[in-house]
């Protein structure tokens, strides 16, 4: 049995109600005690509050194991005798809770894994001797989930947080007392250090509480208040399986961290925020490890201008206008009170990075105890094990989520006092236009979009090429210039030469059907092109290193490969190179390959009018007026057309066949072409006349399959569509499942056609649950026939948050406990269990929770269940899969 299979399929929601039975419920006055509560005080099978007998505990353990086993595939389920043996062992392990000599606060500090290990250690080893390896794996998995819910139960108690804070305060008081005693032994030092640290904290807050935004074409002030600018992002571990870690917890349980992140991903902002939060001494619980620490913000680009400093020189090296007491920094670090925030290894000249590593190594060797170290770098600047000898854990900043992007845009406009309306307009544009969404991957790029949006009074470039030109100008030129990164003797490459070099790399990747290339290949491509750049006096290795370290566009994901920070930059640059090289036959030969469609669109954007016409004729070789006619075939959908003899329309006849994908691609290319021959443009528009809007569900599905995400921009709105066309358009959009699709579908939320609203309700499972719930589901009007479809417990919780619905359709297999817990009891009148219910639904007693339920719909043919457990007020109806029709067409 694979532990990962159990971990992935273990239904924690199904186990939670059972685990709670192990613990006593809150009684009158619960939580008033001053100190943490011993574990035995919470157990329902021990002590004065005993409610469960030994037999009851065994039954509960057996049920926990049964519910854990049920969701597993049949190939992974243990034999019945192994299941019984696992339940027997779990009974002993859970009973050991009463033998632990700890309180609830101490248990929570342990965490679920250590608590589970403590429990197993309390059980005689003979209990596990007769278990198979699979049974041990199952036992441990169920035990960990049980421990997780037990600890969650403790943290939800009304007085737990208060007691925890009291305990922390007591411990901090002891630490402060010990420090005071130590400092008192050195006359005058303690008071001088304390006074200086207070002044240093205020100066640090003033210096770092504002954030400068570099590289933005704004005529306005570019200073943000850090509290407004900072948003919490996520990192992920690099060693072993990737585990997400919020930036607030980056130093929780970690003394030394090397944080990798792309240009503009928020590394410097994070360090500033940590420093200011620590200096203010107003730290949330997740930053508890920083309490009482002294932050040192050490930007390496500043320090590397001279000899790397000793601790006594930290403040003077970064230009702090304070004179510290003699020996103060060494005393802070010796006491283990330092928070050392070392920013920008990549901003140190390459030949000085080894010296920087040795500098860090010597500092850590001199002050090894309890100090916290956070070092940042771009991913390609240093190798994976750069700080391994000093036991640094490596983490990487992840791209911004949709929620992060929304928060950033709102905060940017708040800081600029630009108002809510422009922020919402930009947010809508980012969600609905794929090009903008692809760019908004980190704070730097989000800032660019905000700046352009404001400077142009809400009108972002409709021209995709102009948008990417602005992004590249910022990344390749302006940002480093404004940050003062260039020094005498440094290699400097202007924007246009960098673009030319990056084009060659992108062109190689596209021509060789790659999204990354070997570092040696990149080196060779640059070496071949550099002789033509006579003004650039540098070898290929230096140029490649410069592009990786400074361009912000190219990165090195592994020691031997390079790629672009986002595929859109690769496509954009490759298209420019293809047009300049007049590599048009390659575009025509690869037009049926969906992964290169963006390259073709961008080539149309880069080309001159005659070049655009050549590309488009390569896609659909039409001359003059054409009339399309859709054909169905066992293979891919095609169009046939003929050239008319006159300008008048003629009936479609047999002619050359055109793949549907190429026609739709040509149509989408028109949106990226500033100028196209009018006859050619009219011909392409005519080819898609009978495709948009789609006329039936089959055509709608083919349109989504072959047109891709760009079809959304071609679909007409709900006005002037008949019901069949409206339904077909909704089918196409719901199959594309993007933010742009959600924005398009908002126009159909109150459509009078029930078929349209059924398609909207059915398609929830294809989209992000919360976004679709907010924009679509919550706006669908209820009527006597519309069922709201829930495919997961997340959907059920979202419906409950909306107040519930009268008619709900359940997809997939759910445990009765999940439905009873998450369905709103009052409004529910019709419940449709579509499939899979027979594996878990024997008794229907749980239906009694819903007082107004009167119709239960089950799939045909009927399956055996205990009819006596169905409430008399509930009528059972058996329905075919397509009867009635709240189904996917």
CB-based contacts of 424, cutoff 8 Å, min separation 6: none
Greater confidence, 155 or 833?
A: 833
Q: DSSP of 695-725, one letter per residue?
A: SSHHHHHHHHHHHGGGGGGGS--STT--HHH
Neighbouring C-alpha atoms within 13 Å toward the C-beta of 735: 22
Specify whether the CB–CB gap between 81 and 138 falls below 8 A.
Answer: no
pLDDT at 317: 85
Relative to beta strand 875-879, strand 656-659 is unpaired
**Looking at residue 34, what is its pLDDT?**
46
Q: What is the per-residue DSSP string for 500-552? A: HHHHHHHHHHHHTT-SSEEHHHHHHHHHHHGGG-TT----HHHHHHHHHHHSS
Q: What is the pLDDT of residue 760?
A: 92
Cis omega (within 30 of 0) for bond into 530 = no
Residue 639 has pLDDT above 50, yes or no: no
Q: What is the DSSP letter of 25?
A: P
User: How far does CA 324 lie from the centroid of its chain?
Assistant: 43
Highest mean pLDDT: which of 94-98, 590-594, 596-600, 730-734? 730-734
Distant-in-sequence, close-in-space partners of 271: CB < 8 Å, separation ≥ 6: 297, 341, 343, 374, 376
pLDDT for residue 296 is more than 50: yes
pLDDT (mean) for 687-709: 80
Q: How far is CA 639 from CA 11, 448, 653, in A?
A: 49, 42, 11
pLDDT tens-digit readout, 344-354: 887 777 778 88
Distance CA 544, CA 554 (A): 9
Per the model's pLDDT, the better-predicted residue between 140 and 187 turns out to be 140
Percentage of the residues of the chain whose pLDDT score is greater than 90: 10
Give residue 601's pLDDT: 87
ω into 559 cis (within 30 of 0): no
Q: Over range 488-497, report the average pLDDT.
A: 69
Helix H or strand E encompassing 639: strand 638-641
Q: What is the pLDDT of residue 329?
A: 92
331: three-class secondary structure by DSSP? helix
Indicate whether 163 pLDDT > 60: no
Q: What is the mean pLDDT of residues 697-705?
A: 84
pLDDT of residue 214: 42
pLDDT of residue 886: 36
Which of 800, 810, 788, 787 is closest to 858 using CA atoms? 810
* Domains defined for the chain, CATH in brackets: 3-162 (no CATH), 230-398 (3.40.50.300), 782-889 (3.40.50)
The band of 42, judged by pLDDT with boundaries at 50, 70 and 90, is low
Structure-model confidence comparison of residues 684 and 630, the more confident one = 684
- What pLDDT does residue 629 have? 40
Tell me what pLDDT residue 224 has. 59
Per-residue pLDDT at 641: 42
If you average pLDDT over each of 278-282, 359-363, 693-697, 716-720, which comes out highest? 359-363
pLDDT at position 502? 92
Cα–Cα dist 123/313, whole Å = 56
Stretch 179-205: mean pLDDT, rounded?
71
Burial class (CB in 10 A: 0-12, 13-18, 19+), 235: buried
pLDDT, one tens digit per residue, over 418-462 is 778 888 888 887 877 766 776 777 777 777 778 777 766 666 666
Say how far apart CA 374 and CA 357 lie, in whole Å: 13
Q: Which pairs with CB-CB distance under 8 Å and at least 24 residues apart come from 869-875?
A: 869/843, 869/844, 869/845, 870/844, 871/844, 871/847, 874/847
Rama region for 161: left / alpha / beta (φ>0; ψ in -120 to 50; rest): alpha
Between helix 754-762 and helix 723-736 the angle, nearest 10°, is 10
Average of per-residue pLDDT across 41-66: 73
Helix (H) or strand (E) holding 295, with range, is strand 294-299
DSSP secondary-structure letter at 248?
A: G
Statement: residue 797 has pLDDT above 80: yes
Identify the pLDDT of residue 574. Answer: 92
pLDDT, greater one: 479 or 85: 85
Q: Which residue has the higher pLDDT, 643 or 309?
A: 309
Please tell me the least confidently modeled range out of 107-111, 163-167, 795-799.
163-167
Three-state DSSP state, 256: strand
Going by pLDDT thresholds of 50, 70 and 90, the confidence category of residue 579 is: very high
- Which carries the bigger pLDDT value, residue 299 or residue 628? 299
- Whole-angstrom Cα distance, residue 172 to residue 167? 9
DSSP code per residue over 733-791: HHHH-SHHHHHHHGGGTT-S-HHHHHHHHHGGGGS-HHHHHHHTGGGSPP-SSPPEEE-
- Can you tell me the mean pLDDT for 543-558? 79
Integer angstrom CA distances of residue 415 from 363, 426, 431, 436: 39, 15, 22, 21
Considering only 378-392, 425-439, 763-777, which range has the smallest mean pLDDT? 425-439
Radius of gyration of the chain (CA): 32
User: Which pLDDT belongs to residue 627?
Assistant: 38
Please indicate whether residue 531 or residue 349 has the higher confidence score (pLDDT): 531
Q: What is the pLDDT of residues 313-338, one digit of tens each?
A: 999 888 888 888 999 999 999 989 99
pLDDT higher than threshold 70 for residue 85? yes
Residue 339 has pLDDT above 90, yes or no: yes
pLDDT given for residue 94 in this prediction: 86
C-alpha to C-alpha distance for 93 and 143, rounded to whole angstroms: 8
pLDDT at 216: 43
Those residues whose C-beta lies under 8 Å from the C-beta of residue 642, and which sit 6 or more positions away, are: 626, 627, 650, 652, 653, 654, 655, 656
Which has the higher per-residue pLDDT, 593 or 639?
Answer: 593
d(CA 300, CA 308) in angstroms, rounded, equals 9
Interval 196-207 mean pLDDT: 88
DSSP, collapsed to helix, strand or coil, labels residue 257 as: strand
Q: Please, what is the average pLDDT of the chain?
A: 76
Confidence of residue 364 (pLDDT cuts 50, 70, 90): very high
The residues near 326 (Cβ < 8 Å, ≥ 6 apart) are none
Task: Kindly report the pTM of this predicted structure.
Answer: 0.51
Give the pLDDT confidence score for residue 6 in this predicted structure.
Answer: 57
DSSP annotation string for 380-445: TTS-TTTTGGGTPEEEEEPPPPHHHHHHHHHHHHHHTT--HHHHHHHHHHHHH-HHHHHH-SSHHH
Rounded Cα distance between 825 and 827, Å, is 6
pLDDT at 361: 92
Average pLDDT over residues 836-842: 49
Task: Flag whether pLDDT at 375 surpasses 90.
Answer: yes
What is the share, in percent, of the chain residues with pLDDT greater than 70? Answer: 74
């Amino acid at each position: 049995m694979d532990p990962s299979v159990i971990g992935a399929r273990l239904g924690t929601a199904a186990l939670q109600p059972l685990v709670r039975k192990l613990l006593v419920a809150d009684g009158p006055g619960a939580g008033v005690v001053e100190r943490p509560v011993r574990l035995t005080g919470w157990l329902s099978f021990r002590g004065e509050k005993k409610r469960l007998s030994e037999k009851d505990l065994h039954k509960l353990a057996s049920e926990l194991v049964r519910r854990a086993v049920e969701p597993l595939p049949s190939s992974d389920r243990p034999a019945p005798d192994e299941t019984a043996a696992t339940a027997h062992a779990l009974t002993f392990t859970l009973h050991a809770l009463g033998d632990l000599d700890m309180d609830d606060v101490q248990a929570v500090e342990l965490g679920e894994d250590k608590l589970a290990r403590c429990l197993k250690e309390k059980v005689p080893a003979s209990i596990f001797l007769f278990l198979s390896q699979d049974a041990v794996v199952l036992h441990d998995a169920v035990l960990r989930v049980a421990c997780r819910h037990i600890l969650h139960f403790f943290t939800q108690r009304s007085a737990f947080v208060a007691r925890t804070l009291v305990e922390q305060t007591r411990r901090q008081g002891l630490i402060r007392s010990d420090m005071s005693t130590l400092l008192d032994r050195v006359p005058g030092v303690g008071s001088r250090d304390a006074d200086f640290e207070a002044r240093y904290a205020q100066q640090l807050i003033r210096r770092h509480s504002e954030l400068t935004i570099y590289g933005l074409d704004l005529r306005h002030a570019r200073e943000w208040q850090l509290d407004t600018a900072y948003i919490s992002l996520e990192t992920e571990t690099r060693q072993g399986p990737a585990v997400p870690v919020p930036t607030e917890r980056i130093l929780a349980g970690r003394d030394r961290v090397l944080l990798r992140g792309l240009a503009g991903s928020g590394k410097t902002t994070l360090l500033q925020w940590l420093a200011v939060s620590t200096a203010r001494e107003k730290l949330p619980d997740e930053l508890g490890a920083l309490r009482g620490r002294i932050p040192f913000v050490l930007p390496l680009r500043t320090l590397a201008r001279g000899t790397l400093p000793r601790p006594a020189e930290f403040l003077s090296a970064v230009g702090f206008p304070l004179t510290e007491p003699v020996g103060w920094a060494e005393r802070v670090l010796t006491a283990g009170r330092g928070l050392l925030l070392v920013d920008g290894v990549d901003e140190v000249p390459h030949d000085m990075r080894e010296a920087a590593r040795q500098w860090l190594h010597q500092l850590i060797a001199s002050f090894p105890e309890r100090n916290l170290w956070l070092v940042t770098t771009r991913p390609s600047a240093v190798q994976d094990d750069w700080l391994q000898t000093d036991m640094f854990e490596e983490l990487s900043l992840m791209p911004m989520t949709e929620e992060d992007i929304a928060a950033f845009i709102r905060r940017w406009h708040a800081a600029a006092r630009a108002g809510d309306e422009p922020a919402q307009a930009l947010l809508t544009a980012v969600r609905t236009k794929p090009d903008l969404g692809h760019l908004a991957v980190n704070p730097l790029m989000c800032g660019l979009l905000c700046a352009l949006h404001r400077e142009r009074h809400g009108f972002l470039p409709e021209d995709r090429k102009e948008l990417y030109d602005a992004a590249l100008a910022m990344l390749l030129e302006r940002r480093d210039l404004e940050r003062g990164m260039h020094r005498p003797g440094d290699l400097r490459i202007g924007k246009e030469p960098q673009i030319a070099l990056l084009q060659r790399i992108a062109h190689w990747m596209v021509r060789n059907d790659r999204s990354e290339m070997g570092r040696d290949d990149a080196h060779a491509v640059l070496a071949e092109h550099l002789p033509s750049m006579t003004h650039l006096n540098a070898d290929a290795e230096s140029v490649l290193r410069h592009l990786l370290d400074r361009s912000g566009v190219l990165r090195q994901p592994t020691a031997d490969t390079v790629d672009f920070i986002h595929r859109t930059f690769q496509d954009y640059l490759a298209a420019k190179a293809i047009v300049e090289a007049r590599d048009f036959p390659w575009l025509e030969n690869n037009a049926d390959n969906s992964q290169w469609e963006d390259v073709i669109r961008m080539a149309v954007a880069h080309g001159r009018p005659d070049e655009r016409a050549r590309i488009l004729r390569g896609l659909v070789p039409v001359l003059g007026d054409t009339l399309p006619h859709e054909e169905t075939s066992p293979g891919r959908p095609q169009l046939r057309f003929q050239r008319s003899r006159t300008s008048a329309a003629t009936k479609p006849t047999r002619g050359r066949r055109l793949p549907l994908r190429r026609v739709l691609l040509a149509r989408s290319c028109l949106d990226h072409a500033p100028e196209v021959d009018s006859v050619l443009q009219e011909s392409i528009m005519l080819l898609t006349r009978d495709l948009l809007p789609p006329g039936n569900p089959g055509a709608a599905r083919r349109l989504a399959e072959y047109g891709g995400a760009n079809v959304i921009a071609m679909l007409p709105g709900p006005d002037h569509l008949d019901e069949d066309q409206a339904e077909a358009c909704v089918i196409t959009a719901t199959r594309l499942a993007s933010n742009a699709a959600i924005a398009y579908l908002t126009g159909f939320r109150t459509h009078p056609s029930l078929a349209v609203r059924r398609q909207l309700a059915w398609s929830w499972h294809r989209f992000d649950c919360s976004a679709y719930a907010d924009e679509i589901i919550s706006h669908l009007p209820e009527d006597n026939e519309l069922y709201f479809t829930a495919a997961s417990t997340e959907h059920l919780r979202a419906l409950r948050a909306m107040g519930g619905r009268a008619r709900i359709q359940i997809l997939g297999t759910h445990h009765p406990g999940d439905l009873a817990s998450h369905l709103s009891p009052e409004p529910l009148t019709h419940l449709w269990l579509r499939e899979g219910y027979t594996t878990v639904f024997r008794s229907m007693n749980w239906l009694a929770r819903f007082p107004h339920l009167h119709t239960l719909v089950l799939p045909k043919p009927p399956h055996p269940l205990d009819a006596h457990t169905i409430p008399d007020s509930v009528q059972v109806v058996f329905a075919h899969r397509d009867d009635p029709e709240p189904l996917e067409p």
